[in-house]
Amino acid sequence: MAASPRSTSKQKASAADPVRPWPAGALARVPGFRTAALHCGLKRKPGNPDLALLVCDRPAAAAGVFTKNLYCAAPVTYCKAALAKSHGRARAVVVNAGNANACTGTQGERDAARMGSLAAKGLRCKPHEVLVCSTGVIGHVLPMQKVESGLAALAKQIARNEPGADFARAIMTTDLVPKTAAVEVDLGFATVKIAGATKGSGMIAPNMATTLGFIATDAKITPAVLQQALSGVIDETFNCLTVDGDTSTNDTVLALASGEASHAPLAKASGASYRAFRAGLFAVCDDLARQIAADGEGAEHTITVYVGGTRTDAEARQIAATIANSPLVKTAIAGKDPNWGRIMAAAGRAGVPFDPEAGALTVCGFDLFKDGKPTAFDAAAVSKALAARDVGIAVLVGDGPGRARYYTCDFTHGYITINADYHT
């Protein structure tokens, strides 16, 4: 699957695995979809793309997951209403970066609706068939004159099948690299394609990351089944991701299915074909989530936290999230400091009951803590291992079946610099 240069989450498919990498994959390479992007003036740097369209040639099955922040942005409210009105169908998604259109009152609501209406006019579809997403600074009203001019130009690009700028780059804010992933999935009687693009670098702690994600597939699938698959997969991927513990006002992941693949519709969330499709969707979203952690603001380490031995997966996830969100753990990793006490202290305060004497910890392959007490280890050797870009932390708290995996990154001075200067 395609990944950013800073991601090492590529996985090789086994001979029996229905999911295989699709290196040439991109949203616009999925049958039935086109993209276009340009600079309309929302971002400060001239020529830096900030407005994009993802268009399906016919009404697509659509599903979405959204932030649970009470201050949800106007585009989030708009998307929920549009999906309800269309009964899970969409022709397009319009996205702007550089302005979140969040906490902007009724004017923000009107602007989100205006974006959908203008895109629909250019594409000759109904306004509720267009989904709207925004990302950027909170509390600023959109400069709609710039957006309107940009949407008119995007409609012409789509009509001429001219993509212009890169979609994945157009949705970026503080990201250093665009983030894409794609797979092909063997359903046994047909092959379907799934591609995704996302953005996110800071204000990341999805609860449905500032993240936006877009998935396109040519699978034939009903909106209800697509929604069930997306919600479950997001819970295991984007919702197991944190950079700084801050849930955004705009978090949105949308999935659209053109239905152009040659197979019977997936109308039930069961059976071999559905499981294969869901595995492909998971592979794309998992890759994208890890890329966000790898591109965390100021990050020098990508951290994967594994937890096992709890009574349930939910308990393991609670411990993993507490470790992943700990500033003390994240700064220790930044300093290449094998301070295992910070990790076990975080596990102990997660609110999950377990026997402390059963606790064990491995960092970068070194056993640092076992049976509730420290082991003898070479601190210099562990510190050297922590110099690697990718760091693995594994915590065992018992012999229960529960397990979880969480993605995060370290905290460096770069994070402070980026966020201190971001608004001004």
> Which active-site residues does the annotation give?
210
Cα–Cα distance measured from residue 104 to residue 111, given in angstroms and rounded to the nearest whole number: 10
Specify the 3-state DSSP secondary structure of 324.
helix
Cα–Cα distance measured from residue 306 to residue 396, given in angstroms and rounded to the nearest whole number: 8
| CA separation, residue 224 to residues 9, 127, 159, 207 (Å) | 30, 21, 30, 21
CB 27 within 8 A of CB 92: no
C-alpha 10: how far from chain center: 16
What dihedral angle (degrees, nearest 10) is formed by the CA atoms of 324, 325, 327, 333? 20
Cβ-count burial of 105 within 10 angstroms (0-12 exposed, 13-18 middle, 19+ buried)? exposed
| CA separation, residue 341 to residues 300, 331, 335, 361 (Å) | 22, 13, 15, 10
Question: 386: Cβ–Cβ under 8 A, 6 or more apart, which residues?
Answer: 301, 333, 336, 337, 338, 363, 364
